[in-house]
Structure 1
Amino acid sequence: MISSQNVLSHEVIGLNILVSGAANPSHRGLSGRIIDETKNLLVIETCRGVKRIPKMHTTFQVMLPSRELVEIDGSVMVLAPEKRINLHEKKRIT
């Protein structure tokens, strides 16, 4: 089950998200649902269309299915999603 302790070892597509801090001021305050993820970007569907937000230099607040709000520094997510999930899974096991 996804929680604040293991969110980085899970898929984030489908979760609701808020950009709480960003190097680009126009990204701050954007919210919506994550519809795709690449190594360097989160693709968010907002009420004003689809936005591509860089992970680096951005802070996100993610709403987990348990209704728990988790703040994530985007720089720790700068990996291809499949590599990020496997990396954090290995760290959790050891």
Structure 2
Amino acid sequence: MKDFIKYEFIGAKVEVINSKNKHIIGLYGTIIDETKNTFKIETENGIKVVPKRGNTFIFYFKDYWILVDGSIITERPWERIKKKVRKII
């Protein structure tokens, strides 16, 4: 699933499963925007901006899920698609 890093994340369902900030652990929603360092996630309680670095995410898809360390996706979306990835987590 190394190609996952090259996917468009906007529209993906995501959950924060580990974080330095205990208040965002368990945060679940849909990614509505992405910058180099953050995801903007639409949740049931509104829109939250979550840093990539320091967090571990689960991305949910129809038939599978992927566990990702946020530090390996801390790049601009258009730069990330060119990146060679050896390890997802």
With the length of structure 2 as denominator, give the TM-score of the two structures: 0.90
Q: 1:73 aligns with which of 50, 69, 74?
A: 69
Alpha-carbon RMSD across the aligned residues, in angstroms, is 1.5
Whole-angstrom distance in 2 between the partners of 1:35 and 1:68: 21
Q: Which residue of 2 aligns with 1:35?
A: 32
- What percentage of aligned pairs have identical amino acids? 35
With the length of structure 1 as denominator, give the TM-score of the two structures: 0.85
Larger Cα Rg: Structure 1 or Structure 2?
A: 1
Q: 1:26 aligns with which of 10, 23, 27?
A: 23
Whole-angstrom distance in 2 between the partners of 1:85 and 1:27: 27
Q: Which residue of 2 aligns with 1:50?
A: 47
Q: Following TM superposition, where does structure 1 have runs of at least 4 consecutive aligned residues deviating by more than 2 angstroms?
A: none
Aligned residue-pair number: 86
Deviations 1:67-91 (A, max 9, x none): 2110000000110111011224xx6
Describe how 1:4-15 pairs up with structure 2 within 5 A: 4-15=1-12
Secondary structure class of the residue paired with 1:12:
coil
